[in-house]
Amino acid sequence: MADISIRRVAKAYGPTKVVHGIDLDIVHGEFVVILGPSGCGKSTLLRMIAGLEAIDDGEIAIAGRVVNKLEPRERGCAMVFQNYALYPHMTVAENIGYSLKVLGRPKAERQARIEAVARIVGLEEFLERRPAQLSGGQRQRVAMARAMIKEPQVFLFDEPLSNLDAKLRVQMRIEIRRLHRRLGGTSVFVTHDQVEAMTLADRLVVMNAGRIEQVGKPRDVYRRPASLFVASFIGSPPMNILKVELAEPGLVRLGSGTLVPVPGLGGVPAGGLRLGIRPEEVQLVPPGTPDAIELPVEFVEELGAGHLVHGELDGAEFVVALPGAVEVVPGGRLGLRLPAEALHLFDAGTGLRFDMPATAPEELHEIA
């Protein structure tokens, strides 16, 4: 069983700490996606699991065995890189079977396994070609086949789709997910692309500045972000965030003076509050409706099936997602309602949401 246990793992380059004491458990058979902006430490964490980066502190165990001091080839992992890392002078078949050749496996065994893996990823017709004769998607399939032939306990993917065009990325996401189900192993996938993360993950790990902000199912992370960072990072467009103050229990006041009910506040301080709502959760009401919020329309993004309306509310950019049938023109005004059940309230100082326990950012995954 290829469980992965990460305990207090830290990494620094000189005086710069890039990973701060991370704890994470990955269960055998899971497809876990680590998501975060560039420089947040996600690829470094993946490389520490693979053994390509040394751990400064903490412990990593794979299938119950501590691997801190093991070489990469001894860990039972196979890694698929962003740049494919194929040998240009070798054929597809030679690239796929190279690791077996290094291990001294008989030629007949190598050939049988190369053909079997090639069938799985749809490369049977390309075995005699060289990488330069392949498309980006085909090269990525070769990289995956090369990882598969090792029969690893764990597949590690380091932004493998970043070099592909939009259509190929969609196709490869589907293929990677099918491959995971077919092989039944444990997969850890690193990306900065939230669409990839949301569509691939059984569980999503959101990282920021070397720490884990939240762990959970993609839908739960989207619907109940644990922090302001997660709220603003997950979603396209991101969550609208407004400065508010507590008016009385159960009510917050916008800068315009409008009172908005926020149920179940409990123990919220009077200052330093941020109110969040997803663009698709904002409700459209006729202008002049009592307690409605008016949004001046600055511009409209047409998306075909719908559009995104941009404006400014209380000095902050505010976006509303509306169906295509709703006519909106720049320079007009929209009447809006912020439904209480769709609101999120955060502490501006700590960045944490108020209806979750007061937990340090690096421990937030324990409450997901």
Residue 267 pLDDT > 70? no
> What confidence score (pLDDT) does residue 266 get?
59
Dist CA 152 CA 82 (whole Å): 19
Give residue 258's pLDDT band: very low, low, confident or very high (50, 70, 90): confident
Rg of the chain over Cα atoms, rounded to whole angstroms, equals 24
The total of other beta-carbon atoms located within 10 Å of residue 263's CB is 11
Give residue 268's pLDDT band: very low, low, confident or very high (50, 70, 90): low
Contacts of 360 (CB under 8 A, 6+ apart): none
Asked if the 228-367 domain carries CATH number 3.40.309.10, the reply is no
> What confidence score (pLDDT) does residue 55 get?
95
Q: What is the pLDDT averaged over residues 165-185?
A: 85
Q: What is the pLDDT averaged over residues 97-112?
A: 90
Mean of the per-residue pLDDT values of the chain: 88
> What confidence score (pLDDT) does residue 356 get?
42
Contacts of 99 (CB under 8 A, 6+ apart): 146, 149, 150
pTM listed for this prediction: 0.87
Q: Which of 31-35, 129-133, 250-254 has the highest mean pLDDT?
A: 31-35
Dist CA 309 CA 41 (whole Å): 34
> What confidence score (pLDDT) does residue 56 get?
96
Q: Which strands make up the sheet holding 316-323, listed edge to edge?
A: 283-285, 333-337, 293-302, 306-313, 316-323
At 291-309, the pLDDT tens digits run 789 999 999 999 888 999 9
Q: What is the pLDDT averaged over residues 143-168?
A: 86
> What confidence score (pLDDT) does residue 360 get?
40
Q: What is the pLDDT averaged over residues 222-238?
A: 94
How would you class 357 by CB atoms within 10 Å of its CB: exposed for 0-12, middle for 13-18, buried for 19 or more?
exposed
Residue 361 pLDDT > 50? no
Residues, the chain, total? 368
In this structure, are strands 77-80 and 154-158 parallel, antiparallel, or unpaired? parallel
Q: What is the pLDDT averaged over residues 84-97?
A: 90
